[in-house]
Chain A
Amino acid sequence: MMKPESRHFFSSPKGKTSFYRMLRNRFLTGLCIALSLLTLFPLISIVILVIRNGLPLISMNLFTQLSPAPGLEGGGFGNAIMGTLVMVCISLLLAVPLGILSAVYINEYAPVSPVSSAVRFVAKLLTGIPSIICGVFAFAAVVMTSQHFSAIAGGVALAILILPIILLTSEQALMGVSVSYREASYGVGATPFQTIWRIVLPDAMPAIMTGIMLAVSRAAGETAPVLFTALFSQNWITSVFEPTASLSVLIYNFASLPYAYHIKLAWSASLVLVTLVTLTNILAQMIFSPKQR
């Protein structure tokens, strides 16, 4: 039996009026906007502080000189920039071949095989591992074996950090290559190697480069993996087998010093690091966007 009076589907038995519902709608919209804007404040605060405190010291000296002794002023952090670049390069040398070759195998040679699903599983597991664990491993495997802190150890730690990024983005990149390209290549009698090397990889290259750039920006910004593997150094890097300075560890070390100039240096290093990381990020997306999608 139907009830005599028609009642709105969404109105509750307590008799919420349409005025109440409108009010609630407005209120929740306002709340949502307010909470979203609230998160902009810390971000703006970080950007403004990094620029305001970091900019005054920016000059050529910053990039070419060593940092001053505690309590003194002048100088920069050229050695830390060098160290970061060297360690990022080492990590790329290790992780790029491993990542791309694995991606080629799991996407081109054997998309459905136990090895491929194991590699995918390992890559996803590695993305979830805290970055400091990469440092702990490099400490155990490299530092404890060779008996001293080195740029190599830092590079190994960073390589483990970026391997899953490179592997998974490369796999995505290879997936994006049209199947008809492969079929055409096989159709004219190419071997799998020729197809991959001449057709698939060149076509996927922009997207793979995006992954590598993202990996670079990630590796340059990370502190925990290099903190106790490369340690720190006050001098220029002369060999990859000795303790090496890096921008991120410099920020960490100098932030806790009681000297005003060193804290200013830490802010400047932050500005350089944030600029570097953001630029690589934006560059990475620009490489990818013009060609596909």
Chain B
Amino acid sequence: MRTRIGGVPILNTGTLSPLTPEYRRNPDFFKGACQLACILTILLLAFIFGEILLKAWPAIHQFGFGFITGTQWSPNRGVFGVLPVLIGTVESSFLALLVALPLGLSIALFISEDFLPNSLRQFIRFVVELLAAIPSVVYGLWGVFVVIPLVQKYGTILSDHFGFLPLFAGPAYGNSLLTASLVLALMVLPTITAISRSSLVVVPYSLREGSYALGATRWETILGVILPTASPGIVASAILAFGRAMGETMAVAMLIGNSQRLSWSLLSPSNTLSALLANQFSEADGIQISALMYAAALLVALTLVVNIAGAMVLRQTQRATSVLR
């Protein structure tokens, strides 16, 4: 009988077969325990989704699709609509990505190409990994005392000179979409760098050599050969970073200003789904809890779609580069 152990097929011995009398006398309780753990893990996911949907059901039933298109969120009047919050979620994450992608990509290039001696590259990698280890709430605290004053100062200048653009319409607040996005950018940078780097280092060396042999400069090689080859991985890193940014909670909750008003300006307070949950859950009751559960379900749906898309692109990349080798 052939079986697989540790992912590698091996020839099994007769004593392992569940049919031998010896085995039946000593059933493998450990295997049973492991099976049980697996089933619990699978049920856990179902339980999480089921529980959130169950608790959201009164709100889903009462508000229906109007919850998503509604622009008012006032628990006192029992009116719940999350459109401004949804827009804030997508907008802040997109803005964060816009800032983080060029920075993250250049770090990824910097530590995957041979600009620097290896020890220095390892050091920069370590520093970026350190960024990922800092807790979200510490970013929030730092943002409150560093980024908010900066945005307030330069935001006023921006709105004075470019106030005619809806994006920079005044008055400029410190607690704003822009502040939250800047800090978010810093927080998703490690994701972008790590995934981009791993897709850059698997570009076969022969491609570089071929390009250099044709007389290309370093950057002609990077822009013309390496980046296009690694581009699916870079796209995947951007998608996954977007998913992370949408789910980030604490730093955003501390910086974004928590206002459910629709506004085009980057300098005015906004809100995101996760920050809404963080701010209102502990004091909510009745239908408001249900409405928040509805919002949580929306957040789960959004991040799942984005994450699965990212994972699919990443898998495609791995398949494509394995063909190249």
In the complex, are the beta carbons of A274 and B138 less than 8 A apart?
yes
In the complex, are the beta carbons of B249 and A224 less than 8 A apart?
yes
Asked whether A126 and B45 contact (CB < 8 A) given A8-B215, A50-B138, the answer is: yes
A35–B111 alpha-carbon span in the complex (Å): 13
A229–B149 alpha-carbon span in the complex (Å): 32
The segment from A57-65, A68-76, A248-256 found at the interface with B is A248-256
- Does B26 reach chain A (CB closer than 8 Å)? yes
Among A9, A39, A131, A227, find the residue whose CB has the most chain B CB atoms closer than 10 A. A39
Contact with B along A123-161 (1 / 0, CB 8 A): 111101111110111011100100001000000000010
Q: Chain A residues near B222 (CB, 8 Å)?
A: 28
- Does A241 reach chain B (CB closer than 8 Å)? no
Q: Chain B residues near A2 (CB, 8 Å)?
A: none
In the complex, are the beta carbons of B219 and A137 less than 8 A apart?
no
Closest Cβ–Cβ distance, residue A91 to chain B (whole Å): 14
Chain A residues 9 to 65 lying within 8 A of chain B, measured CB to CB, are: 9-10, 21-22, 24-25, 28-29, 31-33, 35-36, 38-40, 42-43, 45-46, 49-50
Q: Which of B134, B145, B243 meets A274, CB within 8 Å? A: B134
Closest Cβ–Cβ distance, residue A234 to chain B (whole Å): 15
In the complex, are the beta carbons of A10 and B216 less than 8 A apart?
yes
In the complex, are the beta carbons of A29 and B219 less than 8 A apart?
yes
In the complex, are the beta carbons of B133 and A136 less than 8 A apart?
no
- Does B228 reach chain A (CB closer than 8 Å)? no
In the complex, are the beta carbons of B41 and A130 less than 8 A apart?
no
In the complex, are the beta carbons of B38 and A106 less than 8 A apart?
yes
A182–B134 alpha-carbon span in the complex (Å): 40
Q: Chain B residues near A123 (CB, 8 Å)?
A: 41
How many residues of chain A have a CB within 8 Å of chain B?
98
- Does A105 reach chain B (CB closer than 8 Å)? yes
Asked whether A35 and B102 contact (CB < 8 A) given A128-B304, A137-B48, the answer is: yes
Q: Which of B12, B41, B296 meets A136, CB within 8 Å? A: B296
Asked whether A139 and B141 contact (CB < 8 A) given A29-B219, A111-B4, the answer is: no
- Does B217 reach chain A (CB closer than 8 Å)? yes
Interface residues of B (CB under 8 A from A): 4-8, 10, 12-13, 15-16, 23, 26, 28-31, 33-42, 44-45, 47-48, 51-52, 54-55, 102-103, 106-107, 109-110, 115, 124, 127-128, 130-131, 133-142, 144-146, 186, 189, 214-220, 222-224, 243, 246-250, 253-254, 274, 277-278, 281-282, 289, 292-293, 296, 299-300, 303-304, 307, 311
